[in-house]
Structure 1
């Protein structure tokens, strides 16, 4: 939480309990709080676990009214479509496995919304993410949340140092049960509202979105082994990710087969034994450094949001970085992120590229 008093702070309010409590805590600390909700999409069925449309905008307004703070709704639908949804479909068409939440934070929330906060004369932008911003000897640092089960630092690796200096994360030192307790104490309408889950702009199946925007990703092709022998057919590369076993239609074989590579340009899905999934070297592109690269010479990395960090060596290159894992990891998928840590401190991260 900020120590300076009487600042003007923009609170990003999604309509969920986390961002609502964030706004409430800022107000309790004596700040002038301005709530902003982004309308990111419309025309999709509002479902349990979605966010940023319909009922969520209404919930955010009700919370703002309850707190007595100003509240604005900004239409970012077109920007969100181009920066996040179309990128999501393009990534699958390239045979990658995208993370739209990272793109949303990087290209919308911490870019356009941050600029909107500056335009409003705010001293800071605050969000309900579970991550900590701490002051270090060289400026603002990003650290993992105190509640490890809620930590969202993996999804925020693309936040720049300049952006981080302007951001606040009041929930980073709290647990989710405590956040809900505060919401209940304040009588907020969304105190028991379920968390948002999965991909907010997908109402049923993500392949519907990809097929509409990138029809070629749904073109049939061959399933081949690592020697190029055709083993079967598939109904589109968008249906697969590296490490996948189910849905191949190749059951009954002596040894289970897994997707080890997706050759989108030739519409081929390459499969192999589990041993072929192990990788000890990872090539990264578009690396964002939140600390000096030398700090990552001996560090820990995460290659999936739900995986525990593993020891590694990271070396910066002219095009990104190379990661040497102490122990091979399975299913290293292009399009996913690899994030670097030193203890709780986030050193940076990048996008996994094809070697």
Structure 2
């Protein structure tokens, strides 16, 4: 059976072969398999050294101090730790977030609402961005935290995190940013960007699934309450035996992303242009999100007169999605697309195409021709 062309990099990326090779050195008897917390013998020391080397690699991609990197099981846990940890013990806490955040943020904030935390839900602009004025207008005396994503996972839209963070820093409000879709796709510099907490994912950057990190700023010092207890690992913020092989894999993936960032951005921009150029013969195709403030690898399109589910069935040779992988179990239209003002009908006509490191010009050309053929055929039989 022929493999479909993979155009769902926003859901997950394949592990880079160099990452897989590195991970294998930390799994078996002839490798470094010790527990990084074992401080009494060489096996543990070697594992700890590998973990700390990877910590430096992850910190390097976002220009952080390695001591500001806390290992987690992924961006979902990082988001939970940041948000819940920031408001823990505060009965009068107020949070500001948006209606189109990743489910890891949305559901965490909804859970906190049920516990008595006040949450203000911001409506995005039609292009999926949240403005600085919106955030400032929502702040209250008891606002503890603002949580916004850097890159929207369905639209690819970029928020002006630097401007928002600068205003929040002046007001003493913590700023949490979900950067799962931004890592390896754009430059991130927390040394100059006023962000206090930033969530990262391994498997979005050609690393393994099941590992992530939370950046926790040290100056000014940010304190969050642990959500997992049992050993005081990670400076008391996240207990649990560290998975050395996964952490090493994430470190290697982030090092590769850092060394080839500009080249990869240029490649994805060229692939995006080729993909959209191949669809020019189709009428009634609209872009969802921002044309200017975006990363190049995510393209969300609506096709007039065509239901996305029918289109995906017709595109058997393409692996695409109708939205976030974390919401794929529901037949409801995307809450992100509805959040930017699309009707249910319009949202049901949208597909997300996401390109990545291993996407080729030939695959993009094939995808465009397949979409033109299937959309034209579906419209003809309406």
User: Higher RCO, 1 or 2 (CA under 8 Å, sep at least 6)?
Assistant: 2
Report which of the two has the higher share of helix: 2
Alignment TM class, shorter chain as reference: under 0.3
Q: With the length of structure 1 as denominator, give the TM-score of the two structures.
A: 0.28
Report which of the two has the higher share of strand: 1
Q: With the length of structure 2 as denominator, give the TM-score of the two structures.
A: 0.26
